Amino acid sequence: MRLQFYRTILPVALFLACAASALAQDSTSRPLITVTGQAEVKVAPDEVVFRLVVENLNKELAAAKAVNDESVRKVLALARSHQIPERNVQTDYITVEPKYAAAETDNNRSAEPVFLGYEVSKRIVIILNDVSRTEALLSDVLMAGVNYVRGIEFRSTQIRRHKDQARTLAIRAAQEKATALSREIGQTIGKAFSITESEPGIYDNRTLMNNSSAISAGGQTASDETTIALGQISIQARVVVSFELR
């Protein structure tokens, strides 16, 4: 059985090695011009992702959990009142842990840490498909018991279509660049020898974040004017193309 295996695998391996060697020799013998093409497509977002945190602290674990559960229920009910489908609402991160504070030292001796209570934290992710209601939903969830907003991300549900468009524009840009460069040395380009897509900056998400001082209920103020500008998101593509030189 082992002999038969080697008889099957070795010819295939030799063929692949020969093909790779031939390709390498071909690329070194042909005159090539290699260029980079980049393109960007800007579109209005049609989807908003809220990452919310409900957090409570109490010395009694049961009490901390009960208060947290009640706040979460209010947020979920609020999502339903905004007619957000259940599939767009998810509790995706839950933690329960004791919290302590460092005690004051006495005669250079460390005292025992002070027990503050049990912290119960749940993160809720809500996807809103009507971007015009972004600020209204944000105000409502803060009033419903959300302590922190860890992120508000603006996205496009048509990312694949826009990415294909950006990729097409990037290929055209590469071809135009290669044509212009070769013209300067009195030559022209032939068919493409290789095409490679590079991934940096595929999708530039617009996200409202505030790191350690995340938006909290205590800082929310009522206003008749919107304070969130949706703007546009950037979808980018980058390709590296080698053309034959003539």
CATH top-level class of 47-103+113-155 = alpha beta
Same topology between domain 30-44+157-204+231-246 and domain 47-103+113-155: no
Q: Which stretches within 115-220 are classed as H helix? A: 134-144, 159-184
Q: What is the pLDDT of residue 93?
A: 85
Cα–Cα dist 47/230, whole Å: 10
| 148-155 and 215-216 beta bridge pairing | antiparallel
Q: What is the pLDDT of residue 137?
A: 93
Q: For the whole prediction, is pTM greater than 0.75? A: no
Q: What is the pLDDT of residue 26?
A: 54
Q: What is the pLDDT of residue 28?
A: 57
- Of the pLDDT bands very low, low, confident and very high (cuts 50, 70, 90), residue 138 is very high
Exposure pattern of 56-92 as b/e (b: 16+ CB <10 Å)? bebeeeeebbebbeebbebbbebbeebebeeeebeee
pLDDT(22) > 80:
no
By residue count, the chain amounts to 246
Distance spanning both ends of the chain, measured CA to CA: 53
Query: Could you read off the pLDDT of 157-210 as tens digits, one per residue?
Result: 898 999 999 999 999 999 999 999 999 999 999 999 999 998 754 444 444 443
Query: Could you read off the pLDDT of 93-137 as tens digits, one per residue?
Result: 899 999 998 876 666 566 788 899 999 999 999 999 999 899 999
| Domain 30-44+157-204+231-246 CATH superfamily | Protein of unknown function (DUF541), domain 1 (3.30.110.170)
Q: What is the pLDDT of residue 233?
A: 86
Q: What is the pLDDT of residue 103?
A: 73
pLDDT(32) > 90:
yes
- Of the pLDDT bands very low, low, confident and very high (cuts 50, 70, 90), residue 11 is low
Q: How far is CA 191 from CA 184, 242, 243, 244, in A?
A: 19, 9, 6, 6
Query: Could you read off the pLDDT of 198-242 as tens digits, one per residue?
Result: 875 444 444 444 333 344 444 444 344 555 666 788 899 999 999
User: What are the DSSP calls for 187-246, one per residue?
Assistant: --EEEEEEEEEE-TTSEE-EEE--GGG-EEGGG----SS-------EEEEEEEEEEEEE-
Q: Provide the token pair at 146.
A: 């959300």
Q: What is the pLDDT of residue 105?
A: 64
Q: What is the pLDDT of residue 124?
A: 95
Query: Could you read off the pLDDT of 60-99 as tens digits, one per residue?
Result: 999 999 999 999 999 999 999 999 999 999 988 899 999 9
Domains of the chain, by residue range, sit at: 30-44+157-204+231-246, 47-103+113-155
pLDDT(7) > 70:
no
Q: What is the pLDDT of residue 113?
A: 87
